[in-house]
Amino acid sequence: MRIGIYGGTFDPPHLGHSSAAKAAAEALELDRLLLVPAKVPPHKRLSENSASPEQRLEMTRILADGLLPQGRAQADGLELAREGMSYTSDTLREMKARYPDDELWLLMGTDMFMTLQDWHEPEVILSLAGVAAFRRSGEDSPQAMEAQAARLREDFGARVRLVELPRIREVSSTQVRQALAKGEAPEVPLPVYGYILRDQLYGTNADLKRLTDDELRACSLSMVYAKRHAHILGVEKTAVELAERWGADPELARRAGILHDCTKYLNLEEQLQICRKYGIVLDDLERESAKLLHSKTGAALARYVYGQPEEVYWAIFWHTTGKADMSLLEKIVYLADYMEPNRDFDGVDKLRKLCYTDLDAALALGLDMSIADLTERGVPIHKNTQGARDWLTRHGKG
Ligand code: DGI
Ligand code: FE
Ligand code: FE
């Protein structure tokens, strides 16, 4: 296996990191890329608004998630876990012990590359790993990099690759922090921005109850794995379209869509804790099923953390099972969740069309398909799912 190791303070990780990491992974044909946040001595911490090691690791995880196909990029906290000073040579020794038969490559930008011979134990570093260097700025001289590569090969027998980035993004964490403190859009991936807002890092001090749609979306995406992002954006868009079609408030539909699955990846215990905290009463089936709980806990965070109104709360609350006598917004979010553009199953096109011509008939069809699917998989039907379906029959709506 060929493993790339990309160290940095990641305070915060930004689009310069992600584009360099992607290009290097491709050029080197890496099987795996580990992003390694470096230890920062406490006296170098920038201010009280700056991120803790745990927060830098978490932001790096968020940046790594979905960066390469098949989860090939990951954050690794090994330097943060180590006692005392942290040297790259020690990191590589640890990596070599972990991956004795694999080929290691250290990724770095120009500034680091140009001083590599002055690092602690450069001979150890260069014997354990190859070096892949890329230009951080259009002003970095390719000639100087070539000369440095030649020197390292000569003096240390180093393996060096100079990676040409298709597009150099001149971003630095300093710039990003400055932009954040001024309330400007930062050059970080949206989910990293969401994490920064949620934890009020770098002087953002956002009031989570008064976020713009863009900020709210960033927060929601930061709470779930990257594989769910397209679905959430699809539900947002579809819910807005259905609201416009049927005369519901598109802004409420948008906010419900954005937040509807924000607690999807919390485990059962975390879900139960939120339910206890906000006094959500559960039945036996719900107590055992994180899947049935995420709609209730998502609703709770939408209301109590993100300050959303009751309509949004209930639309999220009922989005998984539905219930008897649903409101217009509840139906819209239930159906948008079911048939947004990324959903693909037999009958989805029929359901999509019906959503724009007869909302109740669409709801009946969605519930029927859901009940059939759960039955086939041997999953017990929740009484609210059945209640939603029966209500439509009783009222002659499907
Ligand atoms: O969160 P999504 O995946 O976007 O969709 P969702 O909120 O509709 O959740 C779907 C999951 O919820 C699915 O794995 C099955 C579960 N679910 C939905 N209705 C019922 C149910 N589980 C049980 N036990 N009973 C139900 O009636
Ligand atoms: Fe859901
Ligand atoms: Fe969903």
Neighbours of 392 (CB within 10 A): 20
Residue 260 Cα to ligand 3 midpoint, Å, equals 6
| Dihedral, CA of residue 291, residue 75, residue 53 and residue 93, to nearest 10 | 140
Q: What DSSP line would sit under 192-254, residue for residue? A: HHHHHHHTTGGG----GGG--HHHHHHHHHHTS-GGGHHHHHHHHHHHHHHHHHHT--HHHHH
Q: What is the pLDDT of residues 201-210, one digit of tens each?
A: 999 999 999 9
Q: Are 132 and 161 in contact (CB under 8 A)?
A: yes
Nearest residue (by CA) to ligand 1, atom 7, is 320
Superfamily of domain 2-163: HUPs (3.40.50.620)
Tokens describing residue 85? 């000073």
Give the confidence band of 136 by pLDDT, cuts at 50, 70, 90.
Answer: confident
Enumerate the domain spans of the chain. Answer: 2-163, 173-222, 231-394
Q: Where are the strands (E) in the chain, listed by range?
A: 2-8, 32-37, 73-75, 103-109, 130-134, 160-163
pLDDT of residue 368: 98
Q: What is the pLDDT of residues 261-280, one digit of tens each?
A: 999 999 999 999 999 999 99
CA distance 91 to 121: 12
Residue 231 Cα to ligand 3 midpoint, Å, equals 7
Whether residue 12 is preceded by a cis peptide bond, meaning omega within 30 degrees of 0, is: yes
Classify 231-394 by CATH class.
Answer: mainly alpha
Tokens describing residue 22? 């992607």
CA distance 24 to 302: 39
Rounded mean pLDDT, 190-200: 98
CA distance 79 to 101: 21
Give the confidence band of 140 by pLDDT, cuts at 50, 70, 90.
Answer: confident
CA distance 264 to 129: 39
Residue 226 Cα to ligand 3 midpoint, Å, equals 13
Cβ < 6 A, ligand 1 pocket? 261, 264, 285, 289, 291-292, 295, 319-321, 337, 370, 374, 379-382, 385
> CA separation (Å) from 181 to 52, 55, 169, 204, 296?
17, 17, 21, 6, 34
184: left (phi over 0), alpha (psi -120 to 50) or beta: beta
> Which atom of ligand 1 lies nearest, measured to the CA of 319?
7
CA distance 39 to 103: 24
pLDDT of residue 234: 98
pLDDT of residue 46: 63
Nearest residue (by CA) to ligand 1, atom 14, is 291
CB burial of 109-134 (b: ≥16 within 10 Å; e: otherwise) equals bbebbbebeeeeebebbbebbbbbbb
- Which ligand is the nearest neighbour of the Cα of 388? 1
Q: Strand, helix or coil at 358?
A: coil
Residue 385 Cα to ligand 2 midpoint, Å, equals 14
CA distance 57 to 78: 10
What DSSP element (H or E) covers 270?
helix 268-277
CA distance 133 to 24: 9
Q: What is the pLDDT of residues 341-393, one digit of tens each?
A: 999 999 999 999 999 999 999 999 999 999 999 999 999 999 999 999 999 99
Rounded mean pLDDT, 175-196: 96
Q: What is the pLDDT of residues 96-135, one digit of tens each?
A: 999 999 999 999 999 999 999 999 999 999 999 999 999 9
